[in-house]
Amino acid sequence: MREATPEELAAFEHFGLRQYQIEAVLRVSDAYRNGARNVLLCAPTAAGKTRISACVAYLASNNGKHSHFVVDRENLVDQTSRTFDQFGVAHGIVKQNHWRYRPYERAQILSVQTVMRRGWPDDPKPKFIIVDECHTVHAPTKDRLAAGDARGLGLTATPFTKGLGQIYDTLINVETTNRLIEQGALVPFRIFSPSKPNMDGVKVNAGEWEQKEATKRALEVVGDCVAEYLKHGNNQKFICSAITVDHAREIHRQFTAAGIQCVVYTSRETDAECDEIVSEFSKPDSFIRGLITVSKATKGFDVPDVGCVIMCRPLRKSLADHIQLLGRGLRTSLGTGKTECIVLDHSGNCERFWDEMNEFFETGALELDDGKKKPKSEKKKPKAEDVMVKCPHCAHLHKARPACPNCGHEYPKRTTVEHVAGTLEEMLASGNQRKLTTEIWPMVCHYARLKSTDVQLANKKAYAMYKELTGAWPKADFFETIPVLPTPEVARKFVNMDKRYWIRRHAAARKAA
């Protein structure tokens, strides 16, 4: 990857970009330099997709190039405009009777609905077309990107749509969900799955369960949703998914009957009502504790202090909808002291998508679908440490551990667990990351906690030590790992690593002086 130009460095500082965001902008630029026409940028919730793309539009404007930023819904136009204003990106809005209609600005924000009604504003023609939520493919943007008279930049957290590979010729992962959680850019989450509707025999329509029968089944567990929120929710703000508007209204009825203030937030409400709801819900001291929605809050919805996600809409195939909803609760909220997101799954979705979700959170997107029919492949067996376990005492879903990280319930020991014989050096030489994570990682966690009373510093120390020791990042969570006392051999290795670290630090300090 090339070094940034002085103009780019100034822009990065102006936008306050993090290192991975800077790298994303440079990788997009490199892709265009190498001949790409349409680039898809995959980034989880809160990775800063709009900030990155605003920086791209800013740099384009400074170079005399025009750009169009196309949003998926009309109510996202003003939200995007506020982000552009925050960073001083001069722009206009293409919308009938909008006060910010400024066709002379090089950057323009518009909705795909405006394009459908009025066509593309091509005077002058843009050099860049930025498509937000590009996993929802609309004919006008698809046709325009295929025309090849402008470079395209698609933005999405869930690039799973069939045929995206026919539209975008390059895929760039900004950062993965797990790395953002490790860095503190997202909060960790805990999943509870106390009940779910029985979906056996429900008819399938366009890949998903038929709504009427699915709603009937889901209504049977609505009472559990309220009870589990009272048990685990700690009166935090929540977003709850529903199958239909009628389903949403019944959930709302039972929550309000329990004295929990919430509102229905669907396409049935007017734009003015929705604006009023979001405005109130966004306040730190809002009297509204929850939004009951079908799909309206799954895109471009940014209320950072949402601390609980309630899943009441069973999904059969849509991993994208599942991850989009989960993402609503993963944003950080320093002002309110939010430290995690509680997920109450009354849909079965977390169990259904467990393997796919965890793989995507760890690796990001590996490729885009090219639209061609693929032969059925054998489902990939998850790694031992990634296998889903459901605690029989508290219904907590988690990766395989000797004990439940939520309530401490100990599971029977498995006699089939394979252990690595030999010395530490032999274990490291084997390169078997699964066994190294199982054997060595808990010892690293114990040593790191012993050396630091600050758990966040201990967390960072553990990851750094394991990476130095094994050459790879551990695929395990520090806070969910049960520490194990290091063996004498391993303890000596840790002490020697610490000594080498401080010797290097002192040498660097002397050199700097």
Is residue 340 located within the same domain as residue 447?
Answer: no
Q: What pLDDT shows up at residue 425? A: 66
Q: Are residues 367 and 165 in contact, defined by beta-carbon separation less than 8 angstroms?
A: yes
Range of the domain at 459: 424-512
Is residue 163 located within the same domain as residue 187?
Answer: no
114 is a domain residue: yes
414 is a domain residue: no
Is residue 168 located within the same domain as residue 72?
Answer: yes
pLDDT tens digit sequence for 134-169: 999 999 999 999 998 899 999 999 999 999 999 999
pLDDT exceeds 60 at position 262: yes
Is residue 196 located within the same domain as residue 152?
Answer: no
Q: What are phi and psi of 162, to 5 degrees?
A: -65, 135
385 is a domain residue: no
What is the Cα–Cα distance from 455 to 184, expressed in whole angstroms? 13
pTM of the full predicted structure? 0.77
Is residue 72 located within the same domain as residue 44?
Answer: yes
The average confidence (pLDDT) of the chain is: 88
Is residue 167 located within the same domain as residue 259?
Answer: no
407 is a domain residue: no
Is residue 331 located within the same domain as residue 355?
Answer: yes
408 is a domain residue: no
Q: How far is CA 12 from the centre of its chain?
A: 23
Helix axes 455-470, 488-512, angle to 10 degrees: 100
Of 275 and 204, which is predicted with more confidence?
A: 204
CATH number at residue 362: 3.40.50.300
Q: What pLDDT shows up at residue 298? A: 67
Is residue 143 located within the same domain as residue 119?
Answer: yes
Is residue 195 located within the same domain as residue 277?
Answer: yes
pLDDT exceeds 50 at position 420: no
Query: Into how many domains does the chain fold?
Result: 3
Beta strands in 24-146 (DSSP E): 38-42, 67-71, 91-93, 107-111, 128-131
CA distances from 285 to 85, 236, 280 (A): 26, 11, 9
Q: What pLDDT shows up at residue 148? A: 87
pLDDT tens digit sequence for 319-358: 999 999 999 999 998 888 899 999 999 999 999 999 999 9
Is residue 78 located within the same domain as residue 103?
Answer: yes
Of 61 and 298, which is predicted with more confidence?
A: 61
Return the top range by mean pLDDT from 225-239, 270-284, 407-421, 446-460: 225-239
Is residue 123 located within the same domain as residue 251?
Answer: no
End-to-end CA distance of the chain: 32
Mean pLDDT of 118-147: 91
381 is a domain residue: no
What is the Cα–Cα distance from 420 to 422, expressed in whole angstroms? 7
pLDDT tens digit sequence for 36-84: 999 999 999 888 888 999 999 999 999 999 999 999 888 789 889 999 9
Model confidence band, residue 417 (pLDDT cutoffs 50, 70, 90) = very low
266 is a domain residue: yes
212 is a domain residue: yes
Is residue 152 located within the same domain as residue 44?
Answer: yes
